[in-house]
Structure 1
Amino acid sequence: MTPTTAFKVLTGEQMAALEKDGSFAGAPVDLADGYIHLSTFEQLTETVDKHFAGHDDLHVVEVDLEALGDAVKWEESRGGQLFPHLYGPLTLDVVVAYGPLHRDGTGQVQRPITG
């Protein structure tokens, strides 16, 4: 079953820009690849551990994939897994929740609880 939401990890600066501008065109890696990298909840902790190790002031944004429609493509990436890729800007109106990155007692990244 395909998830109905996906997650984007943003720096504090990127999160502030999304809140201020209502839109986020992507991090440098997103701009270089031509799409915004998203992760499912099951992929989120591995994404943070692999791409954001040593970073602080991180935020997790949960987005409504159904609202994004055809702008989301599921494509093979890390280890053959399918990841949601957003071809277009991430806009605040499709964000269902966001907040600072928190981990549970086992080290798993938690879902954001505000929005």
Structure 2
Amino acid sequence: MATPSDASPTYVYKLISSAAAPPDPLPNRLPVSDLDQASGFIHLSTARQVPNTLRFFYKDHVKVYVLRIPYDPVEKNIKWEDPKAEVCGPRGGEGTFPHLYNEFKLGKDEVESVQCWEKGPDLGWDSALQAAEAWLVC
């Protein structure tokens, strides 16, 4: 299925709670989150979707890890779906999300770089997003 705009993103992103911090160096295969395991795929976001993913799913977290994944090598395993992998309308105009269906293989071969983001003094994600603006590429 084509991406929502029919233009492939340069990167897709995986957000991980600080409670499940990825090891350094990254292994061949990272542990699978409970949400991903239950869903049957790895939930990813585009650069434009990351801010709302942070605000919606990580609002109670102080720190997250963000994995940047080059899109082209994983494209064959991506399905563009709504957040629940349903064909029905997406949540609040966010569009469809990239879901990685590759038997939960996400590790050093797929991830180009990792950043750790912390909430700012205002307890929001805006300062972290602003600091990562050049890294968070569409």
TM-score band by shorter chain is 0.7 to 0.9
Displacement of 1:73 in angstroms is: 1.1
Matches within 5 A, 1:1-115: 1-17=7-23, 19-77=25-83, 78-79=91-92, 81-88=95-102, 89-101=105-117, 107=126, 109=129, 110=132
Counterparts of 1:55 and 1:16 in 2: how far apart (Å)? 16
Write 1 or 2 for the structure with the bigger share of strand.
1
Which range is displaced more, 71-80 or 36-45? 71-80
Q: What are structure 1's unaligned runs of at least 5 residues?
A: none
Write the letter of the residue equivalent to 1:22.
Answer: N
Give the structure with higher Rg (CA).
Answer: 2
Counterparts of 2:26 and 2:46 in 1: how far apart (Å)? 25
Provide the alpha-carbon RMSD of the alignment.
2.7
Displacement of 1:94 in angstroms is: 1.6
Contact 2:12–2:47 (8 Å) recurs in 1 = yes
Counterparts of 2:134 and 2:25 in 1: how far apart (Å)? 15
Contact 1:101–1:112 (8 Å) recurs in 2 = no
Could you state the TM-score of these two structures normalised by the residue count of structure 1?
A: 0.80
Write 1 or 2 for the structure with the bigger share of helix.
1
Compared with structure 1, are the counterparts of its residues 18 and 85 closer, same or farther at alpha carbon in structure 2 (3 Å cutoff)?
farther
**4+ long deviations beyond 6 Å:** none
Write the letter of the residue equivalent to 1:69.
Answer: E
Counterparts of 1:8 and 1:51 in 2: how far apart (Å)? 12
Counterparts of 1:24 and 1:18 in 2: how far apart (Å)? 11
